[in-house]
Chain A
Amino acid sequence: MHELSLATNILAIVEQTAAEENLASVSVVRLRIGKLRQVVPEAMRMAFDAAKEGTVARDASLEMHFVSIRLRCQICGRVRVVEDRCYFCPLCAGTRMATVTGDELLIETLEGER
């Protein structure tokens, strides 16, 4: 449900970037989203479509690139990709795991015309 907050923030950044780059229209907005961030793609798309009305990105499509969760064990240093909801280290069973990737929430690029 926080997708609407995200969409509002996304469009604020898109509008600011479009102004800085003198874009008349934006056709694609590309996001990079870590899988830790609990973003539901359908909800994100719906929120984006609602929030883009009347902005420079009113005709833009949204592309979402999801990033796997990778954690580094603070004990043995091994990096593990989380695929099965297991967040601990398979080698030493350590549970002090630092996030390497998977918490991203970025606007990566956008496409537009001047």
Chain B
Amino acid sequence: MEIKVLKNILGANQNKADEIRARLVDKGVLMVNLIGSPGSGKTTLLEKTLAHFADTYSCAVIEGDVATDRDARRLQKFGIPVILINTDGACHLESISIEQALGELDLDATDIVFVENVGNLVCPAEFDIGEFAKIAVCSVVEGDDKPEKYPLLFRESKGVLLNKVDLSDFTDFDGDAFTTAVNRLNGDTPIMEIAARSGQGLRVWYDWLRARRDEVRTISKSGEAERRPVHR
């Protein structure tokens, strides 16, 4: 006999993610999910960002790593909560582990939670973890074909950080081709050209973060978080 099921395979993950998002927005906490390849510069970007906002916002980091605490250790010097999730080989973070990590934070005293997802352009894009915004982190040394090869990530992202632009002259990266490819996938997402190590271009990223954080606060104050889903 045939039985109709019609259930979302990732329904459990999605429900948890929606709960997390509603709770964070209600508390006025911005959570950003950074997704990029290994070596795209996610941790360096976080080092610069945490230093920049040290006196402005209370930040926390959830660090997703297949193994080791190397990235988490790099961020400990900022004296902020850094929660490490070792996925033991899994290629992405899921909402259930994010919920546990958030349980270790004082959300009433937190402004921004940065999640550094496992280095991978495919799987993290599939799993909603309750973030307010996904950010794609790419670098020029990876090549300009990434948007076409990994369309879901670029369709889901609220912003694209193009890192290591100071190395462009040493690569055959075609900036116009990259921009066109991103725009064709997602006309709403801004591309921010940066060099995280030197700090080049980071002002635009900081302004973007500040604007998103204000956006979350505004929704929180209007009490809308309970009435409608913020995302999707």
Contact = CB atoms under 8 A, between A and B. Distances in A.
A and B: interacting chains: yes
Interface of A: 1-2, 5-6, 9-10, 12-13, 17, 21, 23, 31, 36-38, 85-88, 94-97, 99, 105-114
A68 to B, nearest CB: 14
B127 to A, nearest CB: 7
Interface residues of B, number: 34
Nearest to A97: B187
Question: Chain A interface secondary structure, helix, strand, loop or mixed?
Answer: mixed
B13 interface: yes
Most B CB within 10 A of own CB, among A5, A94, A106: A5
B19 to A, nearest CB: 17
7 contacts: A5-B90, A13-B5, A13-B9, A13-B11, A88-B187, A95-B185, A95-B188
A87 B4 CA distance: 32
Question: Chain B interface secondary structure, helix, strand, loop or mixed?
Answer: mixed
A109 B3 contact: yes
Interface stretch (B148-156, B197-205, B218-226): B148-156
Given A111-B2, A114-B1, A2 B123 contact: yes
Contacts of A87: 151, 155, 184-186
A47 B231 CA distance: 30
B122 A111 contact: no
A105 B14 CA distance: 12
Which 4 residue pairs are nearest across A and B when measured between Cβ atoms?
A95-B187, A2-B123, A1-B91, A107-B5
A106 B9 contact: yes
B184 A95 contact: yes
Interface string B119-146: 0101101110000000000000000000
Contacts of A23: 3
A1 B13 CA distance: 17
A112 B1 CA distance: 6
Contacts of A105: 8-10
B152 A110 contact: no
B3 A2 contact: no
A17 to B, nearest CB: 6
A46 B150 CA distance: 22
B164 interface: no
